Amino acid sequence: MIITIDGPSGTGKSTVAKKLADTLGWIYFDTGAMFRTLAYGVIKYEIDLNSEPQLGYFLAHFPVTLKKQNGVTHFFLDDEDATMHLRRPDVTEMASKISTIQAVRQTLAIAQRKLAISGGSSIFDGRDMGTVIFPHADLKIFLTADPQIRAERRYLELVAKNPDPTLTEERVLADILERDTRDMTRDIAPLKPAEDAHVIDTSALSIDEVVAAIKKHIPGP
Ligand code: DC
């Protein structure tokens, strides 16, 4: 069985998906982290995104793979563990940029569908899981939330990880709105709910309340 959870950043997607997977004993796949892993490589190897041969070579020779170590999923770019770099601001920005490129999306689509075949019952979170990657998923969820609240959540998350006195909530909001626009207006696989997705507004809900709301929709045996 596959559950897809899509939506913009700051809606609680990954925390909810992780918690839901834990309570169900299912596997959780964070597809945003796969885009981030490639973005890390693009920065590290200075890949020219306008050069088709360069990008093509990179995508063909630097596969993104996932390995579980002590219960934590690590994201590898070829044989390098990129996990510790994935939340860097430059990687976040580059992930949003490369997610508009068809060749990047195609490469990751193959990797994502492979994960679904190798895993058992799984939860995939991302932007186009319900619309493009798994159009026949058993349950599709789309999370939304007020942008101001999403910025607040993201700000707290960022300062908890890396205290930065120059970071402001306004800046985080502006970045979120910019990435939202890019995600929603790109030509390929734009961010939008699938027609058969259940849309849940998480603005006033706790993580547990969102998990409970999703559980109600899980089809029975
Ligand atoms: O969920 P996230 O913030 O870790 O995602 C990083 C970037 O990747 C974000 O800009 C959107 C993009 N993305 C995407 O286009 N499709 C997905 N399935 C997952 C993420």
168-190 per-position pLDDT tens digit: 999 999 999 998 888 899 888 89
Give per-residue pLDDT as tens, 87-135.
Answer: 998 999 999 999 999 999 999 999 999 999 876 899 999 999 999 999 9
Q: What is the pLDDT of residue 163?
A: 81
Q: What is the pLDDT of residue 41?
A: 98
8 A C-beta contact, residue 104 and residue 111? no
Q: pTM of this prediction?
A: 0.93
SS3 call for 100: coil
CA–CA separation, 122 and 73 (whole Å): 14
> Ligand 1 pocket: which of 14, 37, 99 to mutate (most atoms <8 Å of CB)?
99
Helix (H) or strand (E) holding 80: strand 80-81
Q: What is the pLDDT of residue 48?
A: 98
**CA angle (142, 145, 150) in 5-degree steps:** 120
For residue 50, the 8-state DSSP code is: T
β-strand 27-30 against 64-69: which pairing, if any? unpaired
Question: Burial code of 45-62, b = ≥16 C-beta within 10 A, e = fewer?
Answer: eebebeeeeebeebbeeb
Q: What is the pLDDT of residue 170?
A: 94
β-strand 80-81 against 72-77: which pairing, if any? antiparallel
- State yes or no: pLDDT of 51 exceeds 90: yes
- State yes or no: pLDDT of 219 exceeds 90: no
Residue 126 near ligand 1, beta carbon < 6 Å: yes
Residues contacting residue 57 through CB under 8 Å, at least 6 positions apart: none
For residue 165, the 8-state DSSP code is: T
8 A C-beta contact, residue 31 and residue 112? yes
Determine which residue's CA is closest to atom 5 belonging to ligand 1. Answer: 32
**Alpha helix (H) residue ranges in 62-203:** 89-98, 102-118, 147-161, 169-185
Q: What is the pLDDT of residue 182?
A: 87
75-80 mean pLDDT: 98
Confidence label for 23 from pLDDT (cuts 50, 70 and 90): very high
- State yes or no: pLDDT of 194 exceeds 90: yes
State the distance from the centre of ligand 1 to the C-alpha of 37, rounded, in angstroms.
11
- For the chain, the average pLDDT equals 94
CA–CA separation, 198 and 179 (whole Å): 23
Query: Closest ligand 1 atom to the C-alpha of 14?
Result: 1
Give per-residue pLDDT as tens, 133-176.
Answer: 999 999 999 999 999 999 998 899 888 877 888 889 999 999 99
Q: What is the pLDDT of residue 169?
A: 92
Q: What is the pLDDT of residue 10?
A: 86
8 A C-beta contact, residue 116 and residue 136? no
Determine which residue's CA is closest to atom 20 belonging to ligand 1. Answer: 32
State the distance from the centre of ligand 1 to the C-alpha of 14, rounded, in angstroms.
11
